[in-house]
Structure 1
Amino acid sequence: MSRILLHRDVIGGGLVYLAADPDARGGGVGGRLLAHVDELARSAGRSELSLWVIDDNARALAVYERAGWVRTDELKQAGGRRERRLVRRLSG
Structure 2
Amino acid sequence: MYGALQAAETAIADADRNGVNGYPSPELVEARNKLQQARAAIEMEQMPLAVYLAQESQVNAELASAKATLIKEQQVNDEIKEGIEVLKQEMDRNMGAGS
Task: Give your verdict on TM over 0.5.
Answer: no
Larger CA Rg, structure 1 vs 2 = 2
Give the TM-score taking structure 2 as reference length: 0.26
Which structure dedicates a bigger proportion of its chain to helix? Answer: 2
Give the TM-score taking structure 1 as reference length: 0.28
Which structure dedicates a bigger proportion of its chain to strand? Answer: 1
Q: Which has the higher contact order (CA 8 A, sep 6+)?
A: 2
